[in-house]
Structure 1
Amino acid sequence: MKFLQWLHRWTGLIIVLQIVLWTISGLYFALVDHHGMKGHQYRSEPQLVNLDLQHARNMNPSWWSNFDDIRLLRHELVQGIPKIEVHHRDGVSYLNGQTGETWVTSENLAKEIALSTYSGPGTPTRVTPISTTRELHDWQGEGYKVDFNDDLNTRVYVDSTSGSVIDHRNTPWVVADWMFRLHFIDYTGGRNFNNLVIVTAGVVTLWFALSGFILLVKLLVSGEMRFSFRNVPLWATIGSNQHKFSGRAHKSVLQALQDNEVLVESGCGGGGSCGLCKVTVNGQAQITAAEHDLLSPQELNEGIRLACQHSIAKVQNVEVPEVNAQKHSLTLLTSRFLTPMLRELRFRAEEGDVEYLAGQYMQFLIPDGITAIRPCDIPEEFHPNWAAIQDGNFKHIAVRRSYSMATKQSGDELVFTVRYQPQAEGAQAPGVGSTYLCNLKVGEHVIVEGPYGDFTRMEGANRKLFFIGGGAGMAPLRALVQEELSTPEPRDMVFYYGARDSNELVYRNELEALAAAEQIHFVPVLSDAPSHSDWAGARGFVHEQALAYLSSIDIDEYDFYVCGPPRMLSATLDMLANLGVSQDRIRFDDFGN
């Protein structure tokens, strides 16, 4: 299905490009006169001069007996030389009337013949013998190309056998010729509309229509279009209670539950990459590729599915696990940029202390109807060359965004680091969630749900802790470090953290202070540090630097905690798998974006 969609999009792009070419060439044909397209701006027809009596007397009649069944004779003067055109049983012959021999066109004579049909301001500059040319379709033989030095780069083609002008060509003709090729998909210029390119274009268009029809049928069969304008019920069993909800059929089970205020864990926002929104389906539900990757065979056999992967039009009866989460109203205390793109937000919970474990996250409920959201003001000290982003003016629906706590539990205060997402090229607005949170003013309120997540410390094995992170992945890892240090006997910890440059090393001073006190082994790694900078630390990708360190120690002594951007996360998990680290010793947090 995905391949079919991919191929449908690309064939559509090809067709759109051809439509653009048709439009451009069609406009050209409408604006340019036919005479100009033929290349005849400086062409004139020479006055034909028939043979007079004196020329006839001087002609050599010996050729008369050389042809059988003569059907037609034509005669004219070509630059003072009588030329006889004889149509006979074997074809057409051209003769020099003075000698009776076959007509011969020299270079000088070709130039004179070309001049006799030329009315422009130029003069002949070069005479070139030719036997074929792309500018004359369906002509091949012996002839000459006569170039003129005028403003249109005129070229006159003379046939050597007949001593006549074949045609005129110039720059406007070349443009018109290409417009014909583009308009009629005849890129070879052969004036053949049954060519390979146009046949291919026809097949591509047929495939576009056929694949579009197949996709439409699949959408109708799946219910994503059939019920898109009507509500369908969703029966959800939560604990010992069953609830009936309703929602649009094209919505996922996760969206329907969240719309009806049911707390469901989801770290990736419904992207199908975190594997947290587990529900039990009472009935049949096709297993998706994401579920194959994120759920165990036992879970799949038990009917456990991901709520984000299924439409309520197909799955209308589910069991939702109860979570130890609730809604909280937070008041913003402080807001500051830590790096050019990472902002720290410190909140106070209005209801008092909030219990959570380091590594867990909250879901922020971004309200509906926010208009004229302004981009964040990036401090000049972080990015002197920051390009100003124009104010946006848009209206968005309510969304949920997940952010991990950046500190261990400390009463009623919660700290988050929010990565600001500026307006990308082609996008209508900057990131909705990050823009809204970065624009919160001190004293303003926001609603969150949680805590969620199992990215927490593993207890019992007494193994050391190995952290590998990057970007906004610092938040939960920092909280895990703080929580471990608060225990009576903290375990040894190694922390490899990757950033593009030194400006993005968030909480660097804090971690280097811990490293100086020998409470943690902290290694910052820069991937894009300029070669001329004064950076003396590790360079490259963070997982590669971590691999170099792991090759020198006993990895069985460590549990691993990984959090960061998707590519870094994927590369690190692959690296640990190649090292033979078992899954029960790895915990990771997938942002899903």
Structure 2
Amino acid sequence: MKFLQWLHRWTGLILLIQLMLWTISGLYFALVDHHGMKGHQYFSMQQPEALNRAQLANLSPAWWDEFNGVTKVHSYTTQGLPRVEVHHQDGITHLDGRDGSVWQTDQNFAQQIAQASYSGPGSLARVTPIERTRELHDWRGQGYRIDFDDDLNTRVYVDRASGTVIDHRNTPWVVADWMFRLHFIDYTGGRNFNNMVAIAAAVMTLWFALSGFILLIKLLNSGEMRFTLRKASLTADVGERQFKFSDKAHKTVLQVLQHNDIAVESGCGGGGTCGFCAVKAAPDTPVTVSDRAQLSATQLEQGYRLACQHSIEMLHKVEVPETDARKYSLQLKESRFITPMLRELRFEVADGPVEYAAGQYMQFLIPAGAGQSRPADIPEDYVIEWHAIEACDFKHDAVRRSYSMATAAGGTELVFTVRYQPQAPGALAPGVGSSYLCNLKPGETIIAEGPFGDFQRLAGADRKLCFIGGGAGMAPLRALIQEELRSHQPRPMQFFYGARNRGEVLYIDEFVELDNADKLRFVPVLSEPRETCQWGDAEGFVHETAEAWLRQQDISEYDFYICGPPRMLAAALSMLKELKVDPSRVRYDDFGN
């Protein structure tokens, strides 16, 4: 179905372009005088002059006795010279009426013929011998093109064999010719609707209609078809409080709740991959693919559904879990690049300390209409990493973006690592949230809501800890490690962290120092190392390096914490499943980007 949708979309684009061409050319034909399209603005039409009796007396019947099957003979004067046109079974032959020889039109005589047919203000500019031209579709032979230097760039074509004017052409005719080509979809200039391009366009149109019908049936059967102009209402029970909202029917329950300041946990920003935004609805509410993937069978039977996957037209009443999350005003203290694509942001909480557990996150409220651009303070060594990211300024609706705290709780400072999101395929612009946050200046403030999330330490003081991470997944893992190090008796920890090269390993000095102090074992795994691997480095994919090590260990002694890009996360979870690790000892954070 994805391929069908892709093909349908691109077929529609091609047909839309052709429809626009038909509309433009049709308007041209309606508005422009059809006489102007012929190129005859300065064409002085002259009827051939028949020979008089005296001239006819000089003609000898023997001249055309050489031709087989003569059917017709015409006699004319061309610029005062007699010309005989003989039609016979082999074609048409033109003879000089003075001596019966084959008619020949030289360059000077062609000029006279062209000037006699021309009534414009220009003078003769040049004469060019030709055998064919794109401007005369059906003509082949020998002739002349005579150009006049007038306002329309008139060109007169004279046939050498007959000494006649074939036609006039000029700039208005060229424009009209292209309009005919676009309208007929015939780029040969033949004005023929029955050509291969037109037939292909008809087949594409038939395919577009058929595929659209198939997709419509599929959409109706899935129950996901939404109508943007309708409105619907939503009743939300939050504890002992009840709220009622009205909004566009296509908006999701999550969007409506967040827009009306009802705190709902959402780690993936509405992508349906984290499973945090579960709300309770009627048990007979349709179940989506994401519902089935993220919620247990018991939850589905009880009516729990993901708020981000259902519109308020589908869910009219929901129960929303209460949360201690609230809004905080954060003032930026410091912002700096720590890798080519990751920036560390340090905020001071104006409302006092935030009580949170390591591994939790905050939702940043990105203001509506905020523009975005490339940060101005990119280090010189990092500029090459930004070659594909264009500066951009655009408008958008207010959005929420989730980022995990990169340190354990303590004090009124919150630290986040934000990955600048390049432009995704098919997207209008780079990431809204990351761009806005990366361009904040010290002293500026932003509202964040939280804390949210259950990516926290598992109970079990006797078990060792194994962390597997990559990219911005460092933030919650670093906070969990700091929290463990603050405990009375820290447990043994193993940390595998994946990056393309050493320059992209976050907080590498900090973790190398911890490794040297025997507080944890830190293994950077580089997939595209630019230099010779240094102390402690491994080469390849992080989940493969972790698997090789785990096969030498007693995995029942470990709890596992995983966070990173979607592909890395999926590979690591699959690897642990293959090793038959008890799922109750695996915690992961799917931030869905």
The alpha carbon displacement at 1:475 in A equals: 0.8
Measured in 1, the distance between the counterparts of 2:313 and 2:549 equals 54
| C-alpha separation in 1, matches of 2:373 and 2:52 | 92
2:190 alignment partner, SS class? coil
- How far did residue 404 of structure 1 move? 0.8
Equivalent residue, structure 2, for 1:468: 469
1:267 Cα deviation from its structure 2 partner: 0.3
Match of 2:277 in 1: 277
CA distance in 2, matches of 1:74, 1:580: 101
**313-322 or 413-422: which moved more?**
413-422
1:228 to 230, 247, 251: 230
* Residue type at the aligned position of 2:114: Y
Deviations 1:111-142 (A, max 9, x none): 56644443432133x454x7xx7543355xx6
Partner in structure 1 of residue 544 of structure 2: 547
The 3-state SS of whatever aligns with 1:122 is strand
- Distance in 2 (alpha carbons) for counterparts of 1:576 and 1:36: 77
Q: Residues 528-554 of structure 1: CA distance to partner in whole angstroms, max 9, x if unpaired?
A: 77x6xx67559x998725525644651
Aligned position for 2:514: 514
Alignment of 1:383-532 (within 5 A): 397=398, 399-410=399-410, 413-419=413-419, 431=432, 435=436, 439=440, 442=443, 446-454=447-455, 456-457=457-458, 459=460, 462=463, 464-470=465-471, 472-487=472-487, 488-498=489-499, 502=503, 504-524=504-524
**What's 2:121 paired with?**
none
1:143 maps to what in 2?
Answer: 141
Check the 8 A contact 1:135/1:169 in 2, yes or no: yes
User: For 2:495, what is the secondary structure of its paired residue?
Assistant: strand
Query: How far apart are residue 587 of structure 1 and its match?
Result: 3.7
Contact 1:501/1:528 (<8 A) preserved? no
User: Contact 2:461–2:491 at 8 Å: present in 1 too?
Assistant: no
- The match for 1:252 is 252
C-alpha displacement at 1:469, in angstroms? 0.9
Residue number in structure 2 paired with 1:118? 114
Q: Which residue of 1 aligns with 2:325?
A: 326
CA distance in 1, matches of 2:532, 2:284: 57
Q: CA deviation at 1:406?
A: 0.8
Offset at 1:104?
5.2
Residue 474 of structure 1: how far off its partner (Å): 1.8
CA contact (8 A) 2:468 2:542 kept: no
Distance in 1 between residues matched to 2:82 and 2:329, nearest whole Å: 106
In 2, the alpha carbon distance for the partners of 1:122 and 1:349 equals 83
- Inter-partner Cα distance in structure 2 for 1:147 and 1:68: 34
Q: Deviations over 1:381-415 (max 9, x none)?
A: 67679899999796854x43322111123355533
Assess if the C-alpha contact under 8 Å between 1:85 and 1:94 holds in 2: yes
CA distance in structure 1 between the partners assigned to 2:145 and 2:577 by the alignment: 72
CA shift digits 1:417-451 (9 cap, x unpaired): 33456999996998357636863755967452223
Kept in 2, the 8 Å contact 1:277–1:306? The answer is yes
Q: Report the 3-state secondary structure (helix = DSSP H, G, I; strand = E; otherwise coil) of the residue aligned with 1:275.
A: coil
Q: TM-score, normalised by structure 1?
A: 0.73
Q: In the alignment, residue 225 of structure 1 is paired with which amino acid?
A: F
- Structure 1 residues 455 and 116: CA distance shift in structure 2, 3 A: farther
Contact 1:123 1:150 in 2 (8 A): no
Pairs within 5 Å for 1:290-301: 290-297=290-297, 299-301=299-301
Give the root-mean-square deviation of aligned CA atoms.
5.4
Q: Give the residue type in structure 1 aligned to 2:432.
A: G
Structure 2: distance between partners of 1:167 and 1:570: 72
Give the Å deviation of 1:43.
7.2
Q: State the Cα deviation string for residues 24-45 of structure 1 (Å, max 9, x = none).
A: 6679879999788656699777
Report deviation, 1:155: 8.1
Change (3 A) 1:261 1:508: same
Tell me whether 1:336 sits opposite 2:332 in the alignment.
no
Query: 1:55, 1:459 → 2: CA distance?
Result: 124
CA distance in 1, matches of 2:443, 2:478: 24
Q: Equivalent residue of 1:247, what SS?
A: strand
Instruction: Look up the match of 1:61.
Output: 61
Q: Distance in 1 between matches of 2:50 and 2:313?
A: 89
Contact 2:158 2:167 in 1 (8 A): yes
Partner of 1:14: 14
Q: Separation in 2 of the partners of 1:100 and 1:584?
A: 112
Letter in 2 for 1:56: L
**CA drift at 1:61:** 1.3
How much does 1:311 deviate?
1.7
Distance 1:378 1:122 in 2: 63
SS of match in other structure, 2:291: helix
Q: Secondary structure at the residue paired with 1:178?
A: helix
Distance (whole Å) between structure 2 residues aligned to residue 104 and residue 553 of structure 1: 99
Aligned pair in 2 of structure 1 residues 528, 82: CA closer, same or farther (>3 Å)?
farther
CA distance in 1, matches of 2:227, 2:294: 28
SS of the residue corresponding to residue 473 of structure 2 reads helix
Gaps of 5+ in 2: 116-123
Would the alpha carbon gap of residues 170 and 567 (structure 1) be closer, same or farther in structure 2, given more than 3 Å must change?
farther
Bigger Cα displacement from structure 2, 436-445 vs 288-297: 436-445
Q: 1:84 to 1:454 in 2, by over 3 A?
A: same
Cα 1:391–1:405 change in 2 (3 A) is same
User: Alpha carbons of 1:2 and 1:28: their partners in 2 closer, same or farther (altered >3 Å)?
Assistant: same
Measure, in 2, the Cα distance between the counterparts of 1:548 and 1:311: 43
CA 1:516–1:27: 2 relative to 1, 3 Å: farther
Q: For residue 310 of structure 1, report the CA deviation from its aligned partner.
A: 0.9
Residue 373 and residue 92 in structure 1: after superposition, are their counterparts in 2 closer, same or farther (change >3 A)?
closer
Q: Secondary structure at the match of 2:512?
A: helix
State the 1:570 CA deviation.
5.0
Counterpart position of 2:348: 347
The CA distance in 1 between the partners of 2:105 and 2:486, in whole Å, is 104
Contact 1:468/1:563 (CA < 8 Å) preserved in 2? yes
For residues 541 and 195 of structure 1, the distance between their equivalents in structure 2, rounded to whole angstroms, comes to: 62
Amino acid corresponding to residue 258 of structure 2 in structure 1:
Q
Deviation at 1:211, TM superposition (A): 5.0
CA distance in 1, matches of 2:269, 2:552: 33
The 2-side partners of 1:393 and 1:97 are apart by: 75
SS of equivalent residue, structure 1 residue 121: strand
For 2:171 and 2:574, locate their aligned partners in 1 and report how far apart those are by CA, in whole Å: 60
Contact preservation (8 Å) 1:232, 1:312: yes
Residue 317 of structure 1 corresponds to 317
Secondary structure of the structure 1 residue equivalent to 2:114: coil
Distance across 2 between alignment mates of 1:52 and 1:575? 104
Partner Cα distance (2:566, 2:538) in 1: 13
Q: Is the alpha carbon distance of 1:280 and 1:145 closer, same or farther for their aligned partners in structure 2, counting shifts above 3 Å? A: farther
Distance 1:234 1:350 in 2: 31
Q: Shift of the alpha carbon at 1:321?
A: 4.1
Match of 1:285, SS state, is coil
Maintained 8 Å contact 1:343/1:420: no
Q: Give the Cα–Cα distance (whole angstroms) in 2 for the partners of residues 277 and 378 of structure 1.
A: 37
Deviates more, 1:325-334 or 1:403-412: 325-334
Whether contact under 8 Å (2:465, 2:491) holds in the other structure is no
Aligned to 2:118: none
Looking at structure 1, the residues matched to 68 and 267 of structure 2 have their Cα atoms a distance apart, in angstroms, of: 95
Q: Which amino acid aligns with 1:454?
A: F
Q: 1:13 to 1:508 in 2, by over 3 A?
A: same
- Structure 1 pair 445/77, CA: closer, same or farther in 2 (3 Å)? closer
Matches of 2:241 and 2:148, distance apart in 1? 89
Task: Decide whether aligned partners of structure 1 residues 112 and 309 sit closer, same or farther in structure 2, where only a CA change above 3 A counts.
Answer: same
Counterpart CA distance in 2 for 1:374 and 1:291 is: 36
